[in-house]
Amino acid sequence: MPQLKAFRRGLAETGFSESNNVVIRYHWAEGRYDRLPAMAADFVRQGVSLILAQAPPAALAAKAATTTIPIVFVVGFDPVGGGLVASLNRPGGNTTGMTLISNLLGQKRLEMLRDLVPKSAVVALLANPISPDTAGEIHAVEEGARALGMELAVFNASTPAEVGPAFEALKERRADGLLVGTDPFFLNQRAQIIARATALRIPTIYPFRDYAVDGGLISYGTNIASSYRQAGIYAGRILKGANPAELPVMRPTTFELVINLKTAAASGIDIPPALHARSDEVIE
The domain locations on the chain are 2-99+223-253, 103-222+256-283
State yes or no: pLDDT of 163 exceeds 90.
yes
Reported confidence tier of residue 6, pLDDT bands at 50, 70, 90: very high
pLDDT at 55 (0 to 100): 86
The whole-number pLDDT of residue 213 equals 95
Give 134-139 contacts, CB < 8 A, sequence gap 24+. Answer: 134/181, 134/183, 136/77, 136/78, 136/81, 136/103, 136/104, 137/77, 137/103, 137/106, 137/181, 137/182
- pLDDT at position 138 over 80: yes
Please state, in angstroms and rounded to a whole number, the distance separating the CA atoms of residues 210 and 227: 14
Task: Give the per-residue pLDDT at 32.
Answer: 82
pLDDT at 270: 92
For the domain made up of 2-99+223-253, the CATH class stated in words is alpha beta
pLDDT in tens, 23-76: 998 888 877 888 999 999 999 999 999 999 988 889 999 999 999 999 999 998
Q: What mean pLDDT comes out for the span 144-154? A: 94
Do 103-222+256-283 and 2-99+223-253 fall under one CATH topology? yes
pLDDT, tens only, 108-130: 999 999 999 998 899 999 999 98
- Tell me what pLDDT residue 31 has: 75
The model's pLDDT over 190-243, given as tens digits with 9 standing for 90+, comes to 999 999 999 999 999 999 999 999 999 999 998 888 899 999 999 999 999 999
Alpha-carbon span 76 to 112, nearest angstrom: 20
pTM of the shown model = 0.86
Report domain 103-222+256-283's class: alpha beta
